[in-house]
Amino acid sequence: MRTVITWLLCSLAAAMPATAAELHAPKDIAAGTDFSITVNGDSHGTFYLIGPATAEKRSVENGSEISIPGTDIEKAGNYQAILCSDECVSTEFYVHAAEADRLSLLVHPSRVPVATTNAISAVAIALDRFHNIVFSHAQVDFSVNSNNGSSASHAQPTNRGIAWIRLTSAAKASSAKISAAVGDTTETRVVEQVASEACNLHIKSYWEANHLVVQTDPVRDCSGNNVPDGTVVSFTKTDRSGKTTVDAPIKKGIAKAEMPVVGNARISVASGVVLGNELNVGGAR
């Protein structure tokens, strides 16, 4: 009887499939940290790790743990760990970003007219040292320093990894350094605040070798900043021969053009959408 029972038990054990292993990963894993996957059961076989930037395959021997080095999980996201011997078992785990350690800073535009409301935008993206976006809250310290000595700062928490601000440009033309800092990391971009449109555009004329020379006074914006050299000023002459327009760039703050005149003429000036004064001049001398 005992022999029969033993035989039955042995047959039953042989007929039952081997218990499949189970994989268990920790719930909280930060990018770049070493950890282990616990194996309940036979861990002999081929191990696969599939993640956002990972596709690893290796053989594993019997043991209760499979070690994963931090270098295999530097990218945040969902991972699949699979162990295959006779059959495959798997587990999923999520790797979150490490501490905010870097910033990506976008500042636009690189040149902006002075005294323009909300003309500059700065967007900072908080990243960890593996360039994962840090979705948990981080404090970004924005600061603005002009080369005329003025400065301002503002702290802004990130929302899903992003913090942003809008700025009004200064009244005086200058370079502004816009910085964003998180932890020990600071990123800086430079914005040139340049003169706005010309204001009170004024021309005068004089004769030079039978040609009428028309020139502007120093061209400035409404805040008194010199309009940059290269900005085009258009002189328009209307006389008996018709209408003629000459475009001249500002050089050393002044735009100048020579014009032949037949009889009486009217001369006007414009720069962009700004109109200046008009001159009435007599014929050629």
Partner 1 sequence: MKRSLRLLLAVAVLFVASGYSAAQSSPSVEFNAANAGPRSVEDLTSQTVPRDYAFAWQNLSQALDENRPGLLDAYFTGFAKSSLEQRIKQQAQSGLHVRYTDHGHKLNVLFYSPNGDLMQIEDDAQLEMQILDGGKVIQSQPLHVRFMVLMTPGADRWMVRDLESTPAPRSGE
- Interface contacts to partner 1, rule CB under 8 A: 46, 48, 50-57, 75-78, 80, 82, 84, 88, 90, 92, 94, 96, 106, 108-109, 118, 121, 123, 125, 131-133, 135, 159-162, 164, 166
Q: In the complex with partner 1, which residue's Cβ is closer, 129 or 172? A: 129
* C-alpha to C-alpha distances, 169 to 7, 21, 108, 226, 229, nearest whole angstrom: 91, 64, 12, 16, 20
Looking at the Cβ atoms of 3 and 59, the one nearer to partner 1 is 59
Task: Compute the least distance from the CB of residue 8 to partner 1, in Å.
Answer: 36
Dihedral over Cα of 131, 132, 135, 137: its sign: negative
How near is the Cβ of 109 to partner 1 at its closest, in Å?
7
Q: How far is the CB of 42 from partner 1 (least distance, A)?
A: 17
Instruction: List, in order, residues 6 or more apart from 267 with CB less than 8 Å away.
Output: 203, 205, 212, 214, 235, 236, 237, 238, 259, 278, 279, 280, 281
H or E element: which one contains 122? strand 120-127
Nearest residue (CB) to partner 1, 49 versus 257? 49
**Least distance (Å) between residue 136 CB and partner 1:** 12
Residue with tokens 């200058």: 174
Which residue's CB is nearer to partner 1, number 154 or number 160? 160
57 or 204: whose CB is closer to partner 1? 57
Inter-residue contact 3 to 71 (CB < 8 Å): no
- For the CB of residue 84, give the shortest distance to partner 1 in the complex, in Å: 6
Q: How many C-alpha atoms does 49 have within 13 Å on its Cβ side?
A: 23
Which residues lie below 8 Å from residue 224, measured CB to CB, with a gap of 6+? none
How near is the Cβ of 165 to partner 1 at its closest, in Å?
9
Measured from the CB atom, is 64 or 159 closer to partner 1? 159
- At its nearest, how many Å lie between partner 1 and the CB of residue 22? 15
> Between 50 and 279, whose beta carbon lies closer to partner 1?
50
Give the residue from 26, 25, 30, 23 showing the smallest Cα distance to 95: 30
H/E stretch holding 23: strand 22-24
Tokens of 96: 């979150």
Pairing of strands 45-51, 54-60: antiparallel
